[in-house]
Structure 1
Amino acid sequence: MIKHFLSLEWKQFKRASYFQKGLAIKILLFLAVLYFGGIAIFMGGVMFFALEKTFPDIDPIVMVNNFLIYWILFELMIRYFMQQLPVMNIKPLMIIPITRNSVIHYLLGKTILSFFNFISLLIFLPFSIVLLFQGYPVVNVVLWFFAIMCINMSINFLNFLINKSNTVFYGIASLVIIIVVLRYFNIFDITEPVGVLFNGLYNQPYLAIIPFLIMIGLYKVNFDFIRKGFYLDGAISKKTKEVHATDLSWMNRFGNLAPFLKNDIKMITRNARPKQVVMMSFFFLFYGLFFFTQSVYIEKMPYILAFAAMFITGGFLLSFGQLVPSWDSEYYKMLMSQNIPYRQYLESKWYLMVVAVAVSFILSTPYIYFGWDIYLMIAAGALFNIGLNTFITLFGGALNRVPIELNTKAKAFSNTNGFNPTQLLIALPKMLLPILIFFIPYHFISFNAGLIALALTGALGIVFKNFFLNKIENIYQKGKYKTVAAFSEKK
């Protein structure tokens, strides 16, 4: 039966009209898996010696167990935002003689093959092998590793519940926030008591049965959860939902652009995929903390700060903007059949990105803490985003003809729905240009000269806004019917 399910999914993928695009994406994802998998193996191989050198008075296995709780919390977070849950078209299977249990077991089995399950394996397997070569007890190490893998799979099944149940999600999120807040204010550090539990798994190997039973229990809970709604009438019945209208009359001040802007706001607030992307763009605001807290970037490589400054205010532009016009793919044919100028459509997208950059800049005000030079760098990056990156993004949209399903439940980061490899090429100038524009004046003149050059580039883009929009409009007009045809294809 498993072989039959695999055959059906392969035929669906191979026979689809988007096979070549999907294949290119799979190849890119495979290369990414090889890269991050190699990093995980390296980390696992050197972790013992690094801990031994850094903390010579503490056994490396004890140190790992003490901080294992933070790895678990990190896994929960990264899985929730990035792990793609398995999807299978079950409606045709409901009316043929295949047991529900077989389909559900297959769906849950697919979650085991997720790359996120192999990250822990690739880290802790080399670490365990090093422990064995260092003379640690074989039974203790093997059963400790077994327990860690059971915990890893438990996180996998827990993530399935978190994604399917808001109650579970809010419960886990509240627990994580409480742990972080208590640790931050030095009220309670969960490291030591939880470390005792994980060290117990190593010192008393028979306790490995506990994580194993937890894993089996979570699998059973997931199985029952899916089976409860596994009915044909439940899958096709219409749900009645009360609709709350949003008053957007204040946007009428934008004149002819108001209908487009209102449509975008409604699309974002009413659909799953754009809402996820907008939420994720908020986290770009914290990107500067990776750079502005490191003296090596400030003292020796300040030109890298231009890249960070652009990211801080460009989250919406880089995540939401790069998928213009794919956001409108489900009704693009109707939109293009109306008697409306293409220029107004593009200009509304430009204003939407400009407002998002401005809001991000206001929210970045706390970066003044790192000094006025840093804050002025962020301001220059915001001007660059408004005056140049917005136009580069719109230009890239003319080459993006991959449709998007607005209400898909896929993750904002890992979902390749709407992804086009061309976007990677278009993203390069958006990321490299601010570094280059800042570096040349900075290297030959001064830091302030680099700031002025970066800000001036953005200001010139705003001055020549009409010129850029006219050129981009001509490109969209030439590819209009190709875009309509591409968006009409259904996966």
Structure 2
Amino acid sequence: MIKKFLSFEWKQFTRASYFQKGLAIKILLILAALYFGGIAIVMGGALFFILKKSIPEVDPIIIVNNFLIYWFLFEIVIRYFMQQLPVMNVKPLMIIPIKKNKVINYLLGKTALSFFNFLSLFLFLPFTVVLLAKGYPVLNVLCWFGSVVLLTLSINFLNFLINKSNTYFYIIAPLLLILIALEYFQIFSTSELAGVAFNAIYNQPYLIVVCALILYGLYRLNFNFIKKGFYLDDTVSKKVKEVNAVDLTWMNRFGSIAPFLKNDLKLIWRNARPKQVLMMSFLFLFYGLIFYTQEIYRETPAFLAFASMFVTGGFLLTFGQLVPSWDSEYYKLLMSQNIPYRKYLESKWYLMVVAVAISFILSTPYLYFGWEIFGMIAAGAVFNIGLNSFITLFGGALNRVPVELNVKAKAFSNTNGFNPTQMLIALPKFILPMLLFYVPYKIFNWEAGLIVLALSGVMGIILKNFFLSKIEQVYQKGKYKTVSAFGEKAS
């Protein structure tokens, strides 16, 4: 039966109209997996010797066990935002005599092939080999490694539940945040307790049974969750939801673009995917903490310009890059109306401008790092409004991949939208602000770099009508290709 399932999926993939693009993406993903997997193998092999040299008085296995909880927390976070869960078209299988259990087991089994599961294997297998070569007890080491693998698979199924069920998300996410807060404020040491547990697993090999039971329990939870909704009528029927109307009459002051702005706000308010993107854009505000707190970056001002652009450009980079895909479900209707394309694009521009302005206001706590840093953030905000917004809108003309509004997707899983041209268009968003600041800074001083970066944005605002006209021409030229692409949804 598994062979038949694999055959179905292979035929679906090879017969799809996006086969060539999908094949290219999968090759790139395989190369990326080989690259990061290679790094993990090297790090795993060197980990024992690095720890032995850095902290010679403590056994490396004890150090690893004490910090293993942080690795698993990192896995939970990175999986939630980046791991693409397996998808299978089960509707046709519901009307033929195939047992539900086989389909569900196959679907859950596919999750075990995720790269994130192999990442732990690549990291801890070389470390395990080194431990065995150094004469550590064979049974203890192998059972410890087996426990790590079982816990990694457990996190895989935990991520499945978090992504598929809001109930589990609202239970698990606050619990993790509470434990992290207790650790941070030194009220209760979760890491110390976890370290004791992992050391116990190493010292008492039979405790691997506990890890196996955790994996089995999470697997059964996933199995029962999927089976509960594995019915044709539940899959096909539409759920009627009460829509809460929001009074947006105050937006009428924006004139002819008001209907588009209202539509975008309703789209964000009522649908799952835009809400997720909005949350992601808020997290960009904390991007500066990575750069402004590290002396190595403060000594390289070009990286500070890069970070400053990200601090206020979260919404622009996440929501803006999927224009006009957000409207893909009703794009044909939109284009059949007697509305100017220019107004449609202008509304998207104003939406991004307001988002940048709000992000700039929320970034005022960065004054803690000094006026130079905050001045950089201000210059980056002007650049985002004046130039990055137009670059983003122009790149959107090349994005013809539909977005399902009520499907939760990974932040970086919209791989069908990838093409080399779009990637080239995205490069100025990151490289241009660095060059605009760094060249005047190197020739003159810091203030000159800020002025040039800010003036480039001011110049973009002055030339707003010119840029929008040129972008409108690009959208008009590819209008029918976009309509046709949005009508064909990749399964």
- 1:125–1:295 distance in 2 versus 1, CA, 3 Å: same
Instruction: Pick which of 131-140 and 383-392 moved more.
Output: 131-140
> Which residue pairs with 2:44 in the alignment?
44
Instruction: Pick which of 115-124 and 213-222 moved more.
Output: 213-222
> Which residue pairs with 1:318 in the alignment?
317
- Provide the rounded CA distance (Å) in 2 between the counterparts of 1:73 and 1:123: 16
SS at match of 1:469: helix
- 2:203 corresponds to 1:203: yes
> Which residue pairs with 2:407 in the alignment?
408
- In the TM superposition, 1:35-434 aligns within 5 A as 35-299=35-299, 301-434=300-433
- Provide the rounded CA distance (Å) in 2 between the counterparts of 1:78 and 1:367: 26
Structure 1 residue 438: Cα displacement? 0.7
Quick check: 2:21–2:416 contact (8 Å CA) kept in 1?
A: no
Structure 1 residue 53: Cα displacement? 2.1
Structure 1 residue 409: Cα displacement? 2.7
Quick check: 2:345–2:468 contact (8 Å CA) kept in 1?
A: yes
- Provide the rounded CA distance (Å) in 2 between the counterparts of 1:150 and 1:95: 35
Instruction: Pick which of 136-145 and 327-336 moved more.
Output: 327-336
Structure 1 residue 388: Cα displacement? 0.4
- Provide the rounded CA distance (Å) in 1 between the counterparts of 2:240 and 2:334: 27
Instruction: Pick which of 441-450 and 54-63 moved more.
Output: 54-63
Amino acid in structure 2 at the alignment position of 1:415? N
- Provide the rounded CA distance (Å) in 1 between the counterparts of 2:233 and 2:464: 53
- Provide the rounded CA distance (Å) in 1 between the counterparts of 2:483 and 2:184: 52
Map Cα deviations across residues 73-94 of structure 1 (whole Å, 9 max, x no partner).
2211111222111111111101
- Provide the rounded CA distance (Å) in 1 between the counterparts of 2:420 and 2:104: 33
Quick check: 1:306–1:434 contact (8 Å CA) kept in 2?
A: yes
- 1:486–1:165 distance in 2 versus 1, CA, 3 Å: closer
Structure 1 residue 418: Cα displacement? 4.0
- Provide the rounded CA distance (Å) in 1 between the counterparts of 2:322 and 2:238: 30
Instruction: Pick which of 174-183 and 446-455 moved more.
Output: 174-183
Map Cα deviations across residues 311-362 of structure 1 (whole Å, 9 max, x no partner).
1111111111111111112211111111111110110010011111111111
Quick check: 2:163–2:169 contact (8 Å CA) kept in 1?
A: yes
Identity of aligned pairs, percent? Answer: 73
Instruction: Pick which of 373-382 and 265-274 moved more.
Output: 265-274
Instruction: Pick which of 181-190 and 378-387 moved more.
Output: 181-190
The alignment's C-alpha RMSD in Å is 1.3
Map Cα deviations across residues 43-102 of structure 1 (whole Å, 9 max, x no partner).
211211222222222111101111111211221111122211111111110111111111
Amino acid in structure 2 at the alignment position of 1:429? P
SS at match of 2:415: coil
- 1:479–1:173 distance in 2 versus 1, CA, 3 Å: same
Amino acid in structure 2 at the alignment position of 1:463? I
Quick check: 1:405–1:417 contact (8 Å CA) kept in 2?
A: no
Structure 1 residue 217: Cα displacement? 1.9
Amino acid in structure 2 at the alignment position of 1:286? F
Structure 1 residue 230: Cα displacement? 1.4
SS at match of 2:170: helix
- Provide the rounded CA distance (Å) in 1 between the counterparts of 2:221 and 2:133: 39
Structure 1 residue 488: Cα displacement? 2.0
Quick check: 1:66–1:196 contact (8 Å CA) kept in 2?
A: yes
Gaps of 5+ in 2: none
- Provide the rounded CA distance (Å) in 1 between the counterparts of 2:378 and 2:289: 16
- Provide the rounded CA distance (Å) in 1 between the counterparts of 2:419 and 2:354: 26
Structure 1 residue 419: Cα displacement? 4.2
Quick check: 1:273–1:406 contact (8 Å CA) kept in 2?
A: yes
Map Cα deviations across residues 278-303 of structure 1 (whole Å, 9 max, x no partner).
2111111111111111112212x111
SS at match of 2:489: coil
Amino acid in structure 1 at the alignment position of 2:481? K
Map Cα deviations across residues 427-470 of structure 1 (whole Å, 9 max, x no partner).
10110001111111011100111111101101111111111111
- Provide the rounded CA distance (Å) in 1 between the counterparts of 2:50 and 2:251: 57
Amino acid in structure 2 at the alignment position of 1:380? A
- In the TM superposition, 1:428-443 aligns within 5 A as 428-443=427-442
Quick check: 2:183–2:190 contact (8 Å CA) kept in 1?
A: yes
Quick check: 2:380–2:433 contact (8 Å CA) kept in 1?
A: yes
- Provide the rounded CA distance (Å) in 1 between the counterparts of 2:166 and 2:407: 17
- 1:253–1:417 distance in 2 versus 1, CA, 3 Å: farther
Amino acid in structure 1 at the alignment position of 2:414? N
Quick check: 1:403–1:417 contact (8 Å CA) kept in 2?
A: no
- Provide the rounded CA distance (Å) in 2 between the counterparts of 1:472 and 1:158: 44
Quick check: 1:291–1:297 contact (8 Å CA) kept in 2?
A: yes
Amino acid in structure 2 at the alignment position of 1:99? K
SS at match of 1:67: helix
- Provide the rounded CA distance (Å) in 1 between the counterparts of 2:479 and 2:224: 48
- Provide the rounded CA distance (Å) in 2 between the counterparts of 1:122 and 1:184: 30
Amino acid in structure 2 at the alignment position of 1:209? V
Quick check: 1:368–1:375 contact (8 Å CA) kept in 2?
A: yes
Structure 1 residue 421: Cα displacement? 4.1
Quick check: 1:326–1:418 contact (8 Å CA) kept in 2?
A: no
